[in-house]
Structure 1
Amino acid sequence: MYPSSNRLFWPIRLCWFAASLAGVLGLASSALAEDTLRYGPGVTKITVEDARKDRPLEGDIWYPTATPDILPRADTSKVWQMALADPDGKAAEGIFPLVVVSHGMYGNTFNQAWLGSELARRGYFVAMVNHPGTSSFLRDPDQTRKLWERPVDLSRLISFLIEDSPYKDRIDPERIYAAGHSLGGFTVLLLAGAEFEPDRYERECSGEKLPVACQVLTGWSIAKTEADRSEMAKSRKDPRLTKVISLDLGGTPVLSRDSLSAIDIPVLVLGSQRADMLNQEIESRALAAALPADKVHHVEMSDAGHFDFMGVCKPEGFAILEEYEPGDEIVCIKGNKEREEQHQRILAEILAFLEH
């Protein structure tokens, strides 16, 4: 969850609009030897087709291809390094686990494209949609206040992929995972069984010095009416989910402690030690402490910042943003070689969690 600034992702959106699908934001290298990888990273656009017409869902799906040597990278952004991707490459034969990914506040599916590419190369389907109301491109206030729809978006995505999509025979319904960054971490926790607690929200989000999450939620008029309070408080647990990954989430202060202690699937909690955006004491550390001890694995990434879970900046990216969009350069602090190293560590933690 980021500060409630509408302009934070503006330069990023400009870069992304200019890029082709082959140039999705992300990581160029990984911690694991390239010559050991069996698959290539395929990627294509996806539209969820279901009965809901009031909330269209579109995004990207990354998947393993049988051609690990075909992984071009476009170079269309002045700020961002591009992910390895084979647009519309043929999916490899076999049955693979699925990871659905939720982006942060005013982010989009490109934020964790680096992760989609890396996981696809290791035999995972990775699907992401732009959440209406809280994505870079879709900011209608009426959709924004319906924060309860974000976990529903992921449930709809899962249903479409395993029941109606062209990939349904490639996905293992017994291995469905979810990962989310920032507000996306909050979203996937709701999908895992965490619940918004209205009374706690009112208590924690009152006063002058509010946590970042409270600044965002109150700014969006979340749970202001009785109807909205009721919708926000409903459980959005999806029993098909078998593991969940939180990437420096924002929103722990408003989650019911009883619901967190009742979560019955493994949870990987990755936090950022630099705490440059979120207070770890009330976010990832508090989340890990509230989850069942036998279900949670908490790692605070040494010297990592909140934006290290996003893509890698080019060496000149910080200076470009500082000149043309002052204030937005925060997304590129330690965003080049240091971020590549953080990605390697993040990827290793995620793979260890998913594969054991």
Structure 2
Amino acid sequence: MKLLMKIALMLCAIVIMQQSAFAGENVGVRQIAAPSRERGYDLAVTVWYPAESGGKPVSLGENVFFVGTLAMLDAPISDRKFPLILLSHGAGLAGNAQALSWIAVPLAKQGFIVAAPTHPGNTGANRSAAETMKLWLRPSDITETLSAIGENDLFKEHLDLNKVGMLGLSMGGSTALAIAGARIDPKRLASYCDTDALNPSLCGWVRQSGVDLHAMDLTLAGRDNEDTRIRFAVAIDPGPVDVFEFNTFSRISIPVDLVNLGQPRKIPLTVQAAKIAEAIPNATYSTIEDASHFSMFAECKPGAAEIAESEKIGDPICSDGGGRSRNEIHAQLIDMVVTAFGRALKPSP
């Protein structure tokens, strides 16, 4: 019986890898560096782009929990100009740029260049609660990524810098709101983890790490991070939204599409975007009711939920809203995002 189960799991993994390989056809990926004056060192930036044949197949975002997405490392870029999408990831297990390859690769297939910095301290061996909670540095990472790719020898001739958008998921969604012009309220940020009412998972980690938000230097937290080069933004389950000055949402001048994952009454307040959409002058709002916040993670490998439980991860990383598979939910999200950026940035035929 155990042998049959192992064979079934292997076959399942092969099918998933074949699907991922197909998804990465004609999509190139490269790493570039973005100098960061605020961080004091270069940011690692992953860039996905429409490509010609060539390059080396690589699996991006794969780990013990999640299936990777294939792309072609260092493939030659297609010879024309493309709109640019800046991409911002969340924190935790999916807290790096390549974890979002599942959505970046389809965007590149549709004629966009996608550039994502890995926000320092959000994941991996150098994970830091203190760095993660310096939310005002994330928009700066995006701004510096935009400047760097615009000067990069490989990409600068292939970018239409009049067509620049921003896509953010989870904490990356709040980054998108900040880059669009919303401002953090330092007092709200300082008190965010006073209880577990807003975000038990994140705040539990903050406290276990010995970080006192009231003791942090929040002098720059409320600054204006707007980057007017960015013309359109999509924010999926943006969080934490309860650290912003609510009246600054009305000052956002670019169009913003907001998406929540889950049934309206079950969406956590810290990512609830319905009222924010009402406050932003040119915003749309939609939900995917049979999804969950964890639906923005890559597809789970067979047995990943059990591994997460044994390692006391605490979050149901492989659970969606019920009904459809994560692959089906991803297909809907990808269609929504491709349609939104196609409407706003209009890639050339």
Q: TM-score, normalised by structure 2?
A: 0.79
- In structure 1, the residue matched to 2:101 is 113
Identity in percent? 25
Map 1:152-167 to 2 at 5 A: 152-167=140-155
CA distances 1:135-183 after superposition (whole Å, capped 9, x unpaired):
3343346534533111101100000011234211111111111111111
Pick which of 159-168 and 138-147 moved more. 138-147
Residues 92, 217 of structure 1: alpha-carbon distance in 2 compared, 3 angstrom cutoff: same
- In structure 2, the residue matched to 1:47 is 33
C-alpha separation in 2, matches of 1:288 and 1:217:
30
C-alpha separation in 2, matches of 1:103 and 1:332:
18
- In structure 2, the residue matched to 1:100 is 86
Residues 238, 319 of structure 1: alpha-carbon distance in 2 compared, 3 angstrom cutoff: same
- In structure 2, the residue matched to 1:348 is 335
Shift of 1:284: 1.8
- Aligned-residue RMSD, C-alpha: 3.5
The residue identity in structure 2 corresponding to 1:305 is: S
Q: Does 1:90 align with 2:76?
A: yes
Residues 141, 279 of structure 1: alpha-carbon distance in 2 compared, 3 angstrom cutoff: closer
Residues 286, 121 of structure 1: alpha-carbon distance in 2 compared, 3 angstrom cutoff: same
C-alpha separation in 1, matches of 2:70 and 2:110:
13
| Matching residue within 250, 254, 260 for 2:239 | 250
C-alpha separation in 1, matches of 2:146 and 2:66:
29
C-alpha separation in 1, matches of 2:336 and 2:58:
25
Map 1:278-317 to 2 at 5 A: 279-280=268-269, 283-292=272-281, 295-317=282-304
C-alpha separation in 1, matches of 2:75 and 2:215:
46
Shift of 1:91: 0.7
Unmatched 5+ residue regions in structure 1? 1-24
Residues 208, 216 of structure 1: alpha-carbon distance in 2 compared, 3 angstrom cutoff: closer
Pick which of 249-258 and 334-343 moved more. 334-343
The residue identity in structure 2 corresponding to 1:247 is: I
* 1:100 and 1:154 in contact (8 A); partners too: yes
Q: Does 1:270 align with 2:256?
A: no
Residues 326, 142 of structure 1: alpha-carbon distance in 2 compared, 3 angstrom cutoff: closer
SS in 2 for 1:331: coil
Q: Does 1:65 align with 2:54?
A: no
| Matching residue within 295, 318, 328 for 1:332 | 318
C-alpha separation in 2, matches of 1:308 and 1:233:
31
Pick which of 117-126 and 42-51 moved more. 42-51
* 1:275 and 1:305 in contact (8 A); partners too: no
Shift of 1:52: 5.9
* Larger relative contact order (CA 8 Å, sep ≥ 6): 1
SS in 1 for 2:219: helix
The residue identity in structure 2 corresponding to 1:254 is: V
Unmatched 5+ residue regions in structure 2? 1-15, 344-349
CA distances 1:218-248 after superposition (whole Å, capped 9, x unpaired):
75544645xx333001100001011111111
Q: TM-score, normalised by structure 1?
A: 0.78
| Matching residue within 160, 175, 179 for 2:167 | 179
Map 1:7-46 to 2 at 5 A: 28=19, 40-46=26-32
* 1:312 and 1:335 in contact (8 A); partners too: no
Shift of 1:53: 6.6
The residue identity in structure 2 corresponding to 1:91 is: I
Shift of 1:88: 1.2
CA distances 1:21-55 after superposition (whole Å, capped 9, x unpaired):
xxxx999469xxx8xx9971111222114656714
Shift of 1:86: 1.0
